[in-house]
Amino acid sequence: MPSAAPFSEKIDQALSAARPAVLEMARFIHAHPELSFEEFQAAAAITEVLENAGFDVERGTGGLDTAFSATLGSGDLVVAICVEYDCLPEVGHACGHNLIAGSTVGAALALAPFVDELGITLKAIGTPAEEHGGGKSLLLDAGAFDGVGLSLMAHPGPEGRTANPLGTSSQAVGRFRATFTGQAAHAAAMPHRGINAADGAVLSQVAIGLLRQQLPDDHRVALFVREAGVATNIIPDHAVVDFECRAFTLPEYESLVSRVQNCFEGAALATGTDLSIEDIEPLYEPLFQDPQLSAHWSEAFGSRGHDVTPAKDSSGGGSTDMGNISQVIPSIHPMFSIPGASSPIHSAGFTAAANTPQAYEAMFDAAYAMASTVAAAASDPEQKARFTAAAYHPVTTEAIA
């Protein structure tokens, strides 16, 4: 298999030179967490680093205020490195997106000195709203990935897992809002005149709880009641439940959504309420890890002393809008461990773990491995031809006509 060995020293040197700026940027993002579509400070900090390194930066890519596209080089093979930087409510960077930003920007800067030698057009695409909002899906639809032949990023996680992406995946996830509408009435004087929308919310939760016993182990349903009444002496006429469904294949996902929606419809029928269900975010599709890119990543990341043994459980769990990219562009989205991190992601403990010296060392190792992956793929004529030919060109109604 072709290797990035001829470029290893160049990558190391470029990454070492970029290290102070990247580390300062990643720490700044961790200290200033911003929610989906509100990542103005993060986007500004990242684009400043890229612009200072000679990238041509477009801000507001795809009509998203906090998205960007930074480009360097003019080669036939277009490489997209996906940069994430949004946080979670209350727990901040509990998914380590500060490390994702640092590793992806680090990879871009490590490749910058020899994009012409590799014959690539290098893009660092700022993809907001991964946690909620599906920024990559929106940017894909807006044309930000048109012409891209390969794409990659890496995601941190707790200690104790292999970083080998080969054969691993993620779940499709769709997020919805169910609204029950009833009739308000005085809860003591005339409760019989009311139609209780909150009862619809409660019954739907009970029905879904019972449904879980019959679901496959790798299916997931989660929900919370967003609204269900304002006072004890008023029968609630309005209740809102946000819910999500996850499965590893799209047919399984669609079947799960249908079964869960039946729970809501049954609750509405039982309580006499009206029900509406709407999509509130783009669908996140399952993740497909490209075998050749996976092998390059594992070779490079393993050379830094990390565990890259084959994954025992290929399911992985969780969801990412990188899945949408991987369905149409050869991609990888490996997970890498933070040494000493024992808290689960999406917890306050992981927020702290994502801001340690060990976390930032792993971040730079991931940057090296991503840059090496691109160098290995682009320096082999056969693979380069394959990825160039795989460039994403969406089918449009005009093209069909």
Q: Which domains does the chain have, with CATH numbers?
A: 7-167+287-390 (3.40.630.10), 172-283 (3.30.70.360)
Q: Which residue has the tokens 């103005």?
A: 40
Q: How confident is the model at residue 395 (pLDDT cuts 50, 70, 90)?
A: confident
CA distance 71 to 288: 25
Q: Check: CB of residue 133 under 8 Å from CB of residue 37.
A: yes
Query: Which of 253, 375, 129, 131 has its CA nearest to residue 140?
Result: 129
Residue 388 predicted with pLDDT over 90: yes
Give the amino acid at 283: L
Q: What burial letters (b/e) apply to 320-351, b meaning 16+ CB within 10 Å? A: bbbbbbbebbbbbbbbbbbbebebebeeeebb
Percentage of the chain exceeding pLDDT 70 = 97
Q: Check: CB of residue 342 under 8 Å from CB of residue 349.
A: yes
Average pLDDT of the chain to the nearest whole number: 95
Name the H helices within 149-231.
197-211
**5: Cβ contacts below 8 Å, ≥ 6 apart:** none
Q: End-to-end CA distance of the chain, in Å?
A: 42
Residue 4 predicted with pLDDT over 70: no
Q: Write down the pLDDT at residue 315.
A: 60
Q: Write down the pLDDT at residue 397.
A: 46
- pLDDT, tens digit, for every residue of 152-170? 999 999 998 899 999 999 9
- pLDDT, tens digit, for every residue of 100-129? 999 999 999 999 999 999 999 999 999 999
Written as six digits, the tokens of 120 are 């690539």
According to DSSP, the residues that pair with 335 across neighbouring strands are 155
Query: Which of 224, 45, 194, 149 has its CA nearest to residue 378?
Result: 149
Query: Which of 353, 277, 315 has its CA nearest to residue 93?
Result: 353
